[in-house]
Amino acid sequence: MTSTLITNIGQLVTNDPSHDGTKLGLIKDAALLIEDGVIAWAGPNSQAPTHHIKKTIDAESKCIVPGYVDSHTHMIFAGDRSNEFRARMLGEMYSAGGITSTVEKTRKASSELLLNHAQFLSAEANAGGTTTIEIKSGYGLTLKDEQRSLEIARKISDETTFLGAHVVPVEYKDSPHDYVDLVCGPMLEAVQPYAKWIDVFCDKGAFSVDDARRILKAGIARGLMPRLHANQLQEGQGIALGVELDAASVDHVSHVSEEDIQLLSTSNTVATLLPGAEFSTRSAYPDVRPLLEASITVALASDCNPGSSYTTSMAFIIAVAVREMHFSPEQAVWSATMGGAKALRRNDIGHLVEGACADFQILNAPSYIHLAYRPGVNLVEQVWRNGLQLI
Ligand code: NIG
Ligand code: FE
């Protein structure tokens, strides 16, 4: 058995309310025991176990928080769209249409290039404190290209999502229903061994609620679990559909009605906010307060993709969420860790409780508040996953 004790932790964020009655479950002057890759004990330094410890690490009064669970990324693509970003910063509007240019480049790219690029992004995310990443397909949009995207994604993460219904590709412009048939039939069959989740971009310029329902149900029938891009660009019935199908999460939710809030508040569906998308498309930020007041579980994710949010930095996402969406610093940190775990329906990550994966970061800061208080500064000193130091 390998056991490591981390002592002298100035502030430990456990996300276990039993410690102090708050969501973050803070312990001051704490210690953390790791055995065989999982958390064996968390508590005050003064009560730390002393027997059978193989290795002790002094955290020098720094803050430890769980590794980020980034529950929404699109990391399998080639090329970038920096010129599109530049045009938006000068006043142009975002539309789903730009996806097509990434599809063209992704189809032309070799599998080796796609894998190397996704590994580069995932390493960048790890260096920023992320220990779990969900990865979607959606820039292939042919049977072969969606299949290879998910095969590549699977080499990096178990949390893989089939997003063949990202947009209708140009070759099906005049027969979009044939594309939906392809997604629900042969394409789904081809990707199923590599995908855990199924997702649809249900919005203006993408797929209707009826198509989304059909596609998600086809995925569910093949054993995939549903999640959904909903209400990014306008209000619609996407959130209601997510709740109807017990989706693990509805994502973006930038436009939310009273009825959506009512539906979400009585469901098991997480609302995942993606502030990087509002930042990069210069769109209005949604206010998280009505969601939290209705006791809806809220996650934060990066949405890393070349069009609407080209960042892997969850610290950046936390800072923007606090500054622009009225998250408290504690809610933002919770949403980026435990919230992401709930959006992936996982109990073994996102919190530092006995038996959970030993996935955490040591920050070069005395408190989690610094994540929003010191924007743009890399505060990550060490990153551990499954009890092993990654960074
Ligand atoms: O989540 N909204 C749909 N899909 C991506 C953007 C894709 C793109 O613009 O390339 C998103 O923001
Ligand atoms: Fe997305």
State the closest ligand 1 atom to the C-alpha of 309, by its place in the atom list counted from 1. 12
Cα–ligand 1 centroid distance for 274 (angstroms): 11
Cα–ligand 1 centroid distance for 184 (angstroms): 21
The number of the ligand nearest the C-alpha atom of 99 reads 1
Cα–ligand 2 centroid distance for 235 (angstroms): 17
The number of the ligand nearest the C-alpha atom of 310 reads 1
State the closest ligand 1 atom to the C-alpha of 201, by its place in the atom list counted from 1. 3
Cα–ligand 2 centroid distance for 315 (angstroms): 18
pLDDT tens per residue across span 253-302: 999 999 999 999 999 999 999 999 999 999 999 999 999 999 999 999 99
Percent of the chain predicted with pLDDT > 90: 98
Location of each CATH 2.30.40.10 domain in the chain: 3-67+351-389
Q: What is the mean pLDDT of residues 19-44?
A: 98
pTM of the predicted model as reported, rounded to 2 decimal places: 0.98
Strands 130-133 and 249-252: unpaired
State the closest ligand 1 atom to the C-alpha of 206, by its place in the atom list counted from 1. 3
Percent of the chain predicted with pLDDT > 70: 100
- H, E, C per residue of the chain: CCEEEEEEEEEEECCCCCCCCCCCCEEEEEEEEEECCEEEEEEEHHHCCCCCCCEEEECCCCEEEECEEECCECCCCCCCCHHHHHHHHCCCCCCHHHHHHHHHHHHHCCHHHHHHHHHHHHHHHHHCCEEEECEECCCCCCHHHHHHHHHHHHHHCCCEEEEEECCCCHHHCCCHHHHHHHHHHHHHHHHHHHCCEEEEEECCCCECHHHHHHHHHHHHHCCCEECEEECCCCCCCHHHHHHHCCCCEEEECCCCCHHHHHHHHCCCCEEEECHHHHHHHCCCCCCCHHHHHCCCCEEECCCEECCCECCCCHHHHHHHHHHHHCCCHHHHHHHHHHHHHHHCCCCCCCCCCCCCECCEEEECCCCCCHHHHCCCCCCEEEEEECCEECC
Cα–ligand 2 centroid distance for 16 (angstroms): 29
Q: What is the mean pLDDT of residues 184-193?
A: 98
Say how far apart CA 149 and CA 95 lie, in whole Å: 23
pLDDT tens per residue across span 352-369: 999 999 999 999 999 999
Say how far apart CA 71 and CA 301 lie, in whole Å: 6
Query: Domain 3-67+351-389 class?
Result: mainly beta
Query: Domain 68-343 class?
Result: alpha beta
User: pLDDT-based confidence at 95, cuts 50/70/90?
Assistant: confident
Cα–ligand 1 centroid distance for 308 (angstroms): 5
Q: Which of 71, 72, 74, 101, when mutated, tests ligand 1's pocket best, judged by the most ligand atoms within 8 Å of its CB?
A: 74
Nearest CA to ligand 1 atom 9: 307
Location of each CATH 3.20.20.140 domain in the chain: 68-343
- Residue 97's pLDDT is what? 84
User: pLDDT-based confidence at 3, cuts 50/70/90?
Assistant: very high
Nearest CA to ligand 1 atom 1: 303
> Which residues have C-beta atoms less than 6 Å from ligand 1?
74, 98-99, 102, 201, 229, 232, 277, 303, 305-309
- Residue 51's pLDDT is what? 87
The number of the ligand nearest the C-alpha atom of 281 reads 1
Cα–ligand 2 centroid distance for 258 (angstroms): 23
State the closest ligand 1 atom to the C-alpha of 102, by its place in the atom list counted from 1. 10
Tell me the average pLDDT of the chain: 97
- Asked if the model's pLDDT at residue 1 lies above 80, the reply is no
User: pLDDT-based confidence at 96, cuts 50/70/90?
Assistant: confident
- Residue 112's pLDDT is what? 98
Say how far apart CA 252 and CA 243 lie, in whole Å: 15
